[in-house]
Amino acid sequence: MVFKISADSRLTDDALRNKGLQHLGESSGWDYFVLPHDESASSFRSALDAYRSSDQGRSFFALIKDIEPYGPDDRRGPGLEPDLVLTFPLLVDIHLWPASSGPEARERLASVREVVGEQERGVDEQPEFLLMRASVEEESLNDLLLLPAVERVRLPPSPYLSPTDWVEQPPSETLDQPAARRGAVGVIDDGVHVNHPLLQGLVDAFAVPSGHSWAPPTQHGTMVAGLAAYGDFETALRDGTGLPQPLMVVAARVVEDRSGSGTATFATDTPEHRVLEDAIREIVRRGAMADRPVKVVNISLADRYGYAGPHVDHRTEMLDRLARELDIVIVVASGNVGESLLPDAHELHARHPEHLLADECRVAEPAVAANCLTVGSIARSDQGAHPDGDSPPQLRAVAGIDQVSPFSRSGPGFRPGGSVKPDLVHYGGNLVSQAILSQRNLSHTNVGVATVSLGVPGPFHASSGTSFAAPRVARIAAVVRDEYPSASANLTRALVGLSARVPSPHRAKSNAKAAESAKHLALTGYGIPDERRAIESLQNRVVMTFDGEIEADTSVIHPIPIPEEFAIGKSDRTIAIALAYDPPTRRFRREYLASRMKVDFYRLFDLDELIAIMARQPTNGDKLKLPSDRRRIKSLKPSSEAVLHSTLQVRRWRASAATSLDPNDGQTYYLVVTHMRAPWAELAEPGYDRQRYALAVELEDRGRQQINILDRLRERVRPSV
């Protein structure tokens, strides 16, 4: 019989084996095991009786919170939920528990074949990846849900976008180019095929250096430019809807693949940071000359190796300096974990995403840049496919839907503690393994899971990498700056960050330990941003903003109005805060940032009393004792320590209980923003006595869609000192 165990801490294989239990697998909160024969069952029962009578075996049994049989409902996977109406015969994927050997695998498959008979449609026979696809009647399905060898039964997954919807499809028969919107975005990459039917009239292209004899461009620059302009092609291709209005693109070519090896390099011996600076300044200049300002620049170029310190390099510092000087948002891809650093296919499936937390998988320069938005990748599709659309069961995607991609680099950034990188994630593709006899081979280019963008001869091309996640975010940032032309780069970053939601596979539970929360923060940052949420308020979700300055080494108090309707009752409500600032930096200092900023959240305070408390705070950041009761809201997630060295800080307070918010708390809460200079700040920027920053504060009631917060909050937040 198969059982599942919930324990206070992870049970080791040895601990289970010593009790006669064979470990099958684990998921969030549960370990799965089997009593393989009567002798083991008797041994386990004897050990349990001994624990009950004499506390013997406490080191094992005291950890266990619950033991339950693994039954038919546990075996129902996606598409087979009990309340769904099913039509038979039904094509299903039957996942079997991984086996430790070939004979054991064949024995388990034989038990399934006894049920499905001649209706088998395909099989993956490798012991660790046992799966059978079959067409079943209702009776056979019920029998499978009772079979101990079966882990779960589900409808076969399908690619988010079938290759047959785009491979070799003429764009004129698939999609039309809409009229461009006002905004523009810069792209620094390989060359762009500017005559592509969906890029005609959209791209102003140049090269750095201008006199170089360039090799033919690869697909990379065109894919990146296409995503920066449109944001997404896959939804339109899949659903037959129109494309989003594109942005204009100012594209700087700085790399080429002269050898044809697939690896692009900078075209001259000029230091890379100078080439990038020249490209950024020219992009900004061209945008201004065309009366179409470029305030967002995407760079999908990163080192092959993760950042190892002790100091950031010249590219990173240059990007941070230009972001501050030019008041632009620079979006940088986090870099990809190379094939040589990935485990073999078997181990990768077992370890993902834990393998990304290794030091060698840390974000690559210049993606550690503090004042820039760094973007990692998550998977949109969890099913591989051949170009003809066939998706056999032998094709296995490594990451699940919305899970971090197996190649995406993780945090921290320039500092081990409190430096959130990547800041955000977006769809960049996945990896697929395929069974070939006794081997599993990884594919980095499987068209069922890769990102689809523009290509030549195309019209579309697919590939996977963080390179294709970054321009999606750059597009969102450019739309924000187009919608709000007076918004600073700081406010743009704050609004984009505030729009983000952590993907469901990486949402830590409310009672998760700090290490678990830190792991997901390192993998996906603040989550995947949303264009609409970044530019709009709704009646049940309102965003208030501030865009200004703070005097160095001081605090500013921002009143946050809390409508009584929002505070009453029990509902799934959140108050979210995004702080963005752009401090000077200096690469040879131990503390890379010339200053730090933080926020504290208070309620039940008289404003004059709070002003008096903050006025007594020392300027070195060491706080005097502050209230520890209800008046100080300390449960913002992530913690202040987790984001302290990040220039984009997005924190949320979930108030789901009726007592979380109380009208008696008052209709005004207070957000205290504090600035702290580093001792060497004058070396980074003489006369540095003020710091630009932006705030975006969101009130959202997801439980009561009809509530109208918007009508109660028409005025923007104004700071009071």
pLDDT at position 718 is: 47
Residues 6+ apart with CB under 8 A from 546: 558, 694, 695, 716, 717, 718, 719
Distance (Å, rounded) from C-alpha 116 to C-alpha 137?
9
- 461 neighbors 234 (Cβ within 8 angstroms): no
Residues 6+ apart with CB under 8 A from 208: 252, 253, 254, 275, 278, 279, 282
List pLDDT tens digits, range 347-370. 999 899 999 999 999 999 999 999
pLDDT band at 42; cut points 50, 70, 90: low
List pLDDT tens digits, range 214-224. 999 999 999 99
Task: Count the neighbouring beta carbons within 10 Å of the beta carbon of residue 90.
Answer: 17
Beta bridge partners of 460: 454
Strand 329-333 with 373-378, pairing: parallel
Task: Count the neighbouring beta carbons within 10 Å of the beta carbon of residue 162.
Answer: 20
Lowest mean pLDDT, pick from 76-80, 322-326, 712-716: 712-716
Q: Is the backbone peptide bond immediately before 679 cis, with ω within 30 degrees of 0?
A: no
The single-letter DSSP state of residue 344 is P
Residues 6+ apart with CB under 8 A from 1: 34, 35, 41, 69, 70, 148
As a whole number, mean pLDDT of residues 56-63 equals 68
Task: Count the neighbouring beta carbons within 10 Å of the beta carbon of residue 576.
Answer: 23
Q: Is the backbone peptide bond immediately before 148 cis, with ω within 30 degrees of 0?
A: no
- 77 neighbors 154 (Cβ within 8 angstroms): yes
Strand 120-124 with 248-253, pairing: unpaired
Q: If residue 44 lies in a helix (H) or strand (E), which one and from where to where?
A: helix 38-54
14: amino acid identity, one letter: D
pLDDT at position 203 is: 98
Residues 6+ apart with CB under 8 A from 343: 351, 355
Residues 6+ apart with CB under 8 A from 42: none
DSSP 656-711: -STTTS-GGG-SEEEEEEEEEE-TTHHHHSTT--EEEEEEEEEEEESS-TT---GG
- 332 neighbors 303 (Cβ within 8 angstroms): no
Q: Scanning the structure block, which residue is given the tokens 């187009």? A: 482
CA 417 from centre of chain: 19
Q: Does pLDDT of 280 surpass 70? A: yes
- 435 neighbors 394 (Cβ within 8 angstroms): yes
Dig out the tokens for 576 from the structure. Answer: 């979210």
Q: Phi first, then psi: what are they for 404, rounded to 5°?
A: -55, 140
Dig out the tokens for 486 from the structure. Answer: 């007076």
Give the alpha-carbon dihedral of 456, 458, 464, 466, to 10 degrees.
50
Q: If residue 14 lies in a helix (H) or strand (E), which one and from where to where?
A: helix 13-18
- 409 neighbors 367 (Cβ within 8 angstroms): yes
List pLDDT tens digits, range 328-341. 999 999 999 999 89
pLDDT band at 438; cut points 50, 70, 90: confident
- 115 neighbors 53 (Cβ within 8 angstroms): no
Signed CA dihedral, 232, 233, 237, 243: sign only: positive
Q: Does pLDDT of 643 surpass 50? A: yes
Distance (Å, rounded) from C-alpha 360 to C-alpha 306?
5
Check residues 324 and 442 and name the one with the higher pLDDT: 324
- In the chain the domains, ranked by start, together with CATH numbers, are 2-70 (3.30.70), 75-154 (3.30.70), 163-505 (3.40.50.200), 537-712 (2.60.120.380)
In 346-404, where do the E strands start and end? 373-378, 395-397
End-to-end CA distance of the chain: 67
Q: Does pLDDT of 31 surpass 90? A: no
Distance (Å, rounded) from C-alpha 604 to C-alpha 718?
19
Strand 690-701 with 541-551, pairing: antiparallel
Distance (Å, rounded) from C-alpha 443 to C-alpha 257?
22
Q: Does pLDDT of 664 surpass 70? A: yes
In the chain, what percentage of residues exceed pLDDT 70? 90
Q: Phi first, then psi: what are they for 66, rounded to 5°?
A: -160, 145
Q: Phi first, then psi: what are they for 221, rounded to 5°?
A: -65, -40
List pLDDT tens digits, range 164-212. 888 876 655 567 889 999 999 999 999 999 999 999 999 999 999 998 9
Rounded to the nearest 5 degrees, what angle is found at the Cα of 422, between the Cα atoms of 417 and 428? Answer: 155
pLDDT band at 401; cut points 50, 70, 90: very high
Task: Count the neighbouring beta carbons within 10 Å of the beta carbon of residue 553.
Answer: 18
Mean pLDDT taken over the chain: 90
Distance (Å, rounded) from C-alpha 52 to C-alpha 47?
9
Residue 478, classed as helix, strand or coil, is: helix
pTM: 0.90
Dig out the tokens for 641 from the structure. Answer: 């320590």
List pLDDT tens digits, range 580-620. 999 999 988 778 999 999 999 999 888 888 888 887 766 65
As a whole number, mean pLDDT of residues 386-404 equals 94
Render the burial of 586-617: b for 16+ CB within 10 Å, e for the rest: bbebebbbbbbbbbbbbbebeeeebbebbeeb
List pLDDT tens digits, range 667-704. 899 999 999 999 999 888 999 999 999 999 999 999 88
Q: Is the backbone peptide bond immediately before 422 cis, with ω within 30 degrees of 0?
A: yes
pLDDT band at 716; cut points 50, 70, 90: very low
Residues 6+ apart with CB under 8 A from 80: 86, 92, 141, 153, 154, 155
As a whole number, mean pLDDT of residues 650-663 equals 88
Check residues 62 and 352 and name the one with the higher pLDDT: 352
